[in-house]
Amino acid sequence: MRLLLDTHTLFWAVRQPNRIPAAASALVTDPANELLVSAITPWELGIKYRSGRFAEAGPFLLALERYLDTLGASELPISIEHSLVAGQLEWAHRDPFDRMLAAQAIIENAVLVTADGAFRQLGGLRIAWA
């Protein structure tokens, strides 16, 4: 199964794995599953760090490649197709990072691993958490 990790899921998987419910944790740690991390994730973390909203993001970003290796995760680049779909989703949610993650999960046939309930409002998106 292909899994796309939401930003908080990636952070928690590395730094606070107890915050991830058992069912989602089992998916993330199952070596049979392909873990993907969007290129939008470090962008989002960097903005939160620079704005003072997430001080832990700075050190986390410095070790991001090591964390991806530890998890066995691969980078998912942002394509033009991802961008076109993200901008045209029939979804009232305006967060550009969430819109990109949703578009990527749909296009890449991946399950989005997220605690964010806003994603449940988008039809056609498969999510996993609890």
Q: For the chain, what are the domain ranges?
A: 2-128
Reply yes or no on domain 2-128 having CATH 3.40.50.1010: yes
Residue 102 has what pLDDT? 98
Residue 16 has what pLDDT? 96
Residue 94 has what pLDDT? 93
Strands 2-5 and 34-38 turn out to be: parallel
Instruction: Name the 3-class secondary structure at 12.
Output: helix
Q: Is 66 left (phi over 0), alpha (psi -120 to 50) or beta?
A: alpha
Instruction: Name the 3-class secondary structure at 113.
Output: strand
Instruction: Name the 3-class secondary structure at 91.
Output: coil
Q: Whose CA is closest to 121, among 98, 87, 97, 104? A: 98
Residue 130 has what pLDDT? 65
From first to last of its 130 residues, the chain has per-residue pLDDT tens of 999 999 999 999 999 999 999 999 999 999 999 999 999 999 999 999 999 999 999 999 999 999 999 999 999 999 999 999 999 999 999 999 999 999 999 999 999 999 999 999 999 999 999 6
User: d(Cα 108, Cα 41) in Å, to the nearest integer?
Assistant: 16
